Amino acid sequence: MSVKHEKIIIGTRGSPLALVQANMVKDGIAKISQYIDVSLRIIKTSGDWKPEDGEVRLETLEGGKAQFATEIEDALLSGEIDIAVHSMKDMDSILPDGLSIPFMLPREDARDAFLSDVSQNIGDLPKGSVVGTSSVRRQAFLLNKRPDLKIAVFRGNVQTRIDKLRAGQVDATFLACAGLNRLGLSHEITSIVEVEEMLPAAAQGAVGIEIRSEDMDRLSFLSQLSCKKTYICVSAERGVLRALGGSCHTPIGAYAVLNGTQMHIRAQAASLDGEHIWFEDEYREVSSHEEAAAFGAEIGKRLKSVVPASIFELI
């Protein structure tokens, strides 16, 4: 019997989707080498929804979306775990010193999914319908198209939100196609929202592998799991966010498409009530993730230059 000579501990949240994504990395490592012993360590994060939190937006809680990663990153920095697996859309655009995300799995469908028992799409929702979402991006972009709709703050994991919808708490909700696909719940999708109708969150559908920067040589084998195209596109989208202020909670969508070396970036920002919306897009040749990040930052700066400063205040 072969003796395994390397141990890797993966840190992850305990939600069903987080565990699926962590196991994708675990299974991938197992295929790379039979001599690596991989285990998961579930870390409870401040962002994990608790009933006592009530139906409040994550952005209103201290730390915002960063709460999904803070405790996991602390465990990584302390050496308790070797790598962390994250949904990239939950990550701040600026990482703690000493950490990096050099690897990303191939991206799933980046689009939003529309779920409803009363309508087939956004346009067909009856006037005054209640839509459940915890995303300020989805709220703003939706109200821009349908100001007659009512928004109910919706939290909980994927299945919890589906159960609330089926129980009639709201008329419709949105979830990421990527999460539904990975959980085997694509049959719950009523219709897919095309990016032309609602830009996805930056990095939606992408899973990143975070490591200590000093461990790059030791963990370089993880590059075999990484998708270069995903990495380049996500670098561009996160470049947009970084230029717009890093962890600001303004309704923002960013989506990059790469065909060969030609990249198309679309970015959008809106007021929370959806009354005002700003959009930028451009094509450019890029050959590396550094060039893509710079391209995204340029688009983000251009967008920020036309958006009133008040829009970027924390909500």
- Per residue in 117-170, pLDDT tens? 999 999 999 999 999 999 999 999 999 999 999 999 988 899 999 999 999 999
Task: Give the three-class secondary structure for 128.
Answer: coil
Q: Does 264 fall in a domain?
A: yes
Q: Is residue 314 part of a domain?
A: no
Specify the pLDDT at position 62.
44
Rounded Cα–Cα distance for residues 267 and 242 (Å) = 13
Q: How far apart are CA 145 and CA 55, in angstroms?
A: 24
Count up the domains in the chain and report the number: 3
Residue pLDDT, tens place only, 224-260: 999 999 999 999 999 999 998 754 567 999 999 999 9
Rounded to whole angstroms, the Cα distance separating 112 from 189 reads 10
Task: Give the other-Cβ count within 10 Å of 241's Cβ.
Answer: 26
- Which residue, of 193, 215, 244, is where some domain finishes? 193
- pLDDT(22) > 50: yes
Least reliable range by pLDDT among 44-58, 120-134, 199-213, 255-269: 44-58
pLDDT at 63: 45
- DSSP secondary structure, 132-171, as one string: E---HHHHHHHHHH-TT-EEE---S-HHHHHHHHHTTS-S
Torsions phi, psi for 214 (to 5 deg) = -70, -15
CA count, 13 A, side-chain hemisphere, 164: 21
E strands of 159-229, at which residues? 172-176, 191-193, 207-212
Which CATH number characterizes residue 163's domain?
A: 3.40.190.10
The CA distance from 245 to 79, in Å, is 30
pLDDT band, residue 40 (cuts 50/70/90): very high
Note the pTM of the prediction, 2 decimals. 0.90
C-alpha 7/C-alpha 29 separation (Å) is 11
pLDDT band at 311 (very low <50, low <70, confident <90, very high): confident
Joined together, the tokens standing for residue 249 give 């909670």
The bridge status of strand 150-152 relative to strand 130-132 is: parallel
**Residue linked to tokens 């009933």:** 51
At residue 66, the pLDDT reads 59
- Read off the pLDDT of each residue in 296-307 and give the average, rounded to a whole number: 94
> What rounded mean pLDDT belongs to the chain?
90
80 and 7 inside one domain: yes
| pLDDT per residue as tens digits for the range 10-20 | 999 999 999 99
Domain annotation covers residue 201? no
Domain span at residue 49 reads: 1-107+206-226
Residue 94 pLDDT greater than 90, yes or no: no
* Catalytic annotation present for 217: no
Structure tokens at 45: 């994060």
The answer to whether residues 212 and 94 belong to one domain is yes
Is the separation of the CB atoms in 134 and 249 below 8 Å?
A: no
Q: Is 90 exceeded by the pLDDT of residue 23?
A: yes
Q: Is a pLDDT exceeding 90 seen at residue 36?
A: yes
Res. 313 pLDDT band, cuts 50 70 90: low
* Active-site residue, from 27, 82, 90, 109: 90
Of the pLDDT bands very low, low, confident and very high (cuts 50, 70, 90), residue 196 is very high
Q: Verify that 213 and 142 share a domain, yes or no.
A: no
CA–CA separation, 72 and 92 (whole Å): 13
pLDDT digits (tens, 9 = 90+) for 270-300: 999 999 999 999 999 999 999 999 999 999 9
Alpha-carbon distance of 5 to 1, in angstroms, equals 12
